[in-house]
A and B are shown apart, each in its own frame.
Chain A
Amino acid sequence: MSRFTMEEVGWTPRIPPVEAETATPAQLAALEACPPAQRRSTYFLTLANDPASLGERGALFNTVMYAPRGLPRADREFSTAIVSMANGCVYCTSVHARRFADLSKQREAMQRVLDEGHKAEIDPRRRAIADFSEKLTLTPGAVTAADLAPLRALGMDELELLDLIHSIAMFANANRLMQSLGESEPPAA
């Protein structure tokens, strides 16, 4: 059994999150820069303890995951689920696998990857995205132009490739924050 799931996973912070009612103006302004659907989550309220970094980092996350055009959103979610698996972040994997499944309607394909790893992916585009995502995550120093060739062969253009690199890099960041600052609680088996 794989430890990865698309079910809701809980997350408990190891330091007290900011309370929305008593947040300072700087903390509220920083939260405003974060993705609207998530800015009242425990995770973002925990990051709000340091508003200066949250404001910039939240805005970066927002544009990397949601900027229009370029790499389709489903591909960004798929890639970040693969990165989160490679880093062992059960919480982030669950969130982004679920978003990919909702956007793509490819729930079974996603479940297979969660259960068996990304080598089980049969769709050529997703497989190429997954291979590149894992390599840039685990061995960034070993990535060369040859690693881009499979993506190019599938017709990926410059902007899509830049978006893919940004998504992968963003989750080198997001997974570490999530794993360090709190504990994930997998659903009861």
Chain B
Amino acid sequence: MSDDDLIESILGIAPGSPLHVLRRRRPEALRHAQGAYRELLMPEDPGNISHADRAALALRTALREGDAALAAHFRGLLEKAGAQEAIMLAEDLSGAPMEGRLPALLRYADVVATRPDDVTQETIDALSGMGLTPRDIVAITQLVSFVPYQVRVIAGLRAMMQEGAAA
């Protein structure tokens, strides 16, 4: 099953290993974390936020959160889609002002990922002004808020793997 679970493929958790067995004692956490990932990154009906936009937002968030392995995964999704420009924009952490729709979405990701208390009604109204529906706004906020979940599960499990290696 590890091939089907993003967190296990990133950490290299092999079938039958202690963490693989342990995680299956919480099967719903496993299933719905993977389900949330699927529905946020590659939903059947993506509304106004394309799969490439979503992968770019996830890449940017993983970079802001400092998780290189997770960032590499999202970059891989964009490479597969041939979205080189999206990679370039998402990986530009300089904060240089930039025109365009994706840069504006990426700036929203920066605030939600690192300073969510700074989001204001104006921040949300600006997204509506770009043509995003309430559903689009919830979707990108869910996405940018979900990557930090993945980052902390990965970090916690990595520490448990270190423990196992030291034992």
Contact = CB atoms under 8 A, between A and B. Distances in A.
Contact of A176 (B33, B39, B43, B116): B116
Interface in B149-167: 149-160, 162-163, 166
A140 B36 contact: no
Contact of B152 (A16, A137, A148, A177): A137
Interface residues of B, number: 59
Contacts of B101: none
A144 interface: yes
Interface stretch (B8-16, B90-98, B130-138): B130-138
Contacts of B162: 144-145
B27 to A, nearest CB: 9
Interface stretch (A58-66, A97-105, A109-117, A121-129): A58-66
A146 to B, nearest CB: 8
Given A15-B124, A162-B23, A180-B112, A67 B29 contact: yes
Contacts of B152: 136-137, 140, 165, 168-169, 172
B134 A145 contact: no
B135 to A, nearest CB: 5
Given A67-B29, A145-B163, A140 B145 contact: no
Task: Using C-beta atoms within 8 Å of the partner chain, give the interface range for chain A.
Answer: 35 or more
- Main secondary structure on chain B at its contact with chain A? helix
Contacts of B43: 52-53
Contact of B116 (A50, A87, A143): A87
A175 interface: yes
A37 B44 CA distance: 30
A55 B159 CA distance: 30
Interface in A143-159: 143-145, 147-148, 152, 158-159
A57 interface: yes
B50 interface: no
A161 B26 CA distance: 12
A165 B154 CA distance: 9
Chain A interface helix/strand/loop/mixed: helix
Contacts of B159: 143-145, 147-148
A6 interface: no
B85 to A, nearest CB: 26
Contacts of B155: 136, 140-141, 143
A141 B111 CA distance: 20
B119 interface: yes
Contacts of A140: 65-67, 151-152, 154-156
Interface of A: 14-16, 46-47, 49-50, 52-57, 59-60, 62-64, 67, 70, 87-89, 136-137, 140-141, 143-145, 147-148, 152, 158-159, 161-166, 168-170, 172-177, 179-181, 183
Q: Which 4 A-B pairs have the closest CB atoms?
A: A165-B156, A140-B155, A169-B152, A179-B116
11 contacts: A14-B121, A53-B143, A63-B26, A140-B152, A168-B152, A172-B145, A173-B149, A176-B112, A176-B116, A176-B144, A180-B119
